Structure 1
Amino acid sequence: MSFSRHHTHTVALVFLLWVVTIVGNGCYSFTGGSVPPHLKTLSIATTVDNSNYSLPVYRDVITRLLVDKFRNDNSFTLVDRDGDARLSSFITAIREEPVSVKAGDIERERKITITVDVEYYDAVKKKQIFKRSFSRFESFTVADAVTGRDKALRTSITQICDDILLAVVSGW
């Protein structure tokens, strides 16, 4: 009789753990965790380029990527202007430098770093949620400087836009 009772308790415990695991996994979400509930719409301003870099195309790349990422995330309804939340971004620096060159060496690789300042503003409560600087870098070969530089910048920009999305929707 005690074996049967022990067996029943074990089965019940395993079943309970299974239910908790299934229900718990269904409730967890990686994104959307800390968007304040009163913020339903988001307007994303065109990125401003204050970097003095000679190619202004990257401000449009950042703006487009941010719009695409937030549209795909579905944490907000995107609006052209006057959103409950507002996201502004500013390219503050694009720096290029050798990766490592010793005396007598020929430069083979360069590193390009982009820094973007972002302000996330709650227009409903009229307060800044955060103002942060995001920076990423990538290397490229000097032999492939023109396309390599562009690819490195676009890769860094994609990473920064991912970081911005994560910071906004999950508070990281």
Structure 2
Amino acid sequence: MFKIVRIFSLFTFSFILFGCYSFTGSSLSPETKTVQINEFRNNAAQVNPTLAQQFSIDIQNRFLQRTTLKGTKENPDILIEGEITDYSITPTTISTSVNAPGGNIQAAQNKLTITVKVHYENNVPNEKDKSFDRSYTDEVVFSSALDITAIEASQVRLVNERIINKIFNDIVANW
């Protein structure tokens, strides 16, 4: 009998806990209904021709798929826009080939760095203080054996995903 009472008590406690707590963690107010995400411009010195368009599509998809916000072009509750300010691939680890005359020096690993400057504007009354202008940077180290196609297919997508996660969490999540 004691076991049944204990199970019933645990079930009741769990029901109350889950009924009273929301796991969404969203800091968006219930009045926030619409979002406008303008295309991000690519103002980096080194230009990846597809980066701005892909980043813009990916961030729009994140907000439209993972929130209840609806996209709009007029009077949005939330406006997100920005620019890509840095896109660079630099060597991080150098190796020397002893078999080559004079010791051929080359990069063993490279680092891709992307920086995005974001303007976030919250137009909901009593929420305007949440607006910000902020830069986000992320990087990934990869083998220098990767060709440019592989870098742009996998490494750029990975860095974009990480930056979009940071932006999304700063705007939507209440961590």
Q: Hey, what's the Cα distance between the residues in 2 that align with 1:98 and 1:108? A: 8
Q: CA RMSD in A?
A: 2.4
Matches within 5 A, 1:154-165: 154-165=157-168
Give the match's secondary structure for 1:38.
coil
Matches within 5 A, 1:66-77: 66-77=59-70
1:23 to 1:89, Cα distance in 2 relative to 1, 3 A: farther
Please state how far the C-alpha of 1:76 moved relative to its aligned partner.
1.0
Confirm whether residue 40 of structure 1 aligns to residue 33 of structure 2.
Answer: yes
Q: Deviations over 1:88-126 (max 9, x none)?
A: 122111122112226754212210110112122112335
Confirm whether residue 95 of structure 1 aligns to residue 88 of structure 2.
Answer: yes
Q: Hey, what's the Cα distance between the residues in 2 that align with 1:19 and 1:78? A: 40
Please state how far the C-alpha of 1:65 moved relative to its aligned partner.
0.3
Q: 2:23 aligns with which of 29, 43, 58?
A: 29
Give the TM-score normalised by structure 1. 0.80
Please state how far the C-alpha of 1:160 moved relative to its aligned partner.
1.2
Please state how far the C-alpha of 1:141 moved relative to its aligned partner.
2.5
1:90 to 1:19, Cα distance in 2 relative to 1, 3 A: farther
Matches within 5 A, 1:106-117: 106-117=106-117
CA contact (8 A) 2:64 2:70 kept: yes
Q: Hey, what's the Cα distance between the residues in 2 that align with 1:82 and 1:162? A: 25
CA contact (8 A) 1:85 1:120 kept: yes
Range with greater deviation from structure 2 (71-80 or 119-128): 119-128
Matches within 5 A, 1:1-172: 7=2, 12=5, 14-25=7-18, 27-31=21-25, 33-101=26-94, 105-125=105-125, 127=129, 129-150=131-152, 151-172=154-175
Unmatched tracts of structure 1, length 5 or more:
none
User: Sequence identity of aligned pairs in percent?
Assistant: 22
Unmatched tracts of structure 2, length 5 or more:
97-102
Q: Hey, what's the Cα distance between the residues in 2 that align with 1:171 and 1:128? A: 12
Bigger share in helix: 1
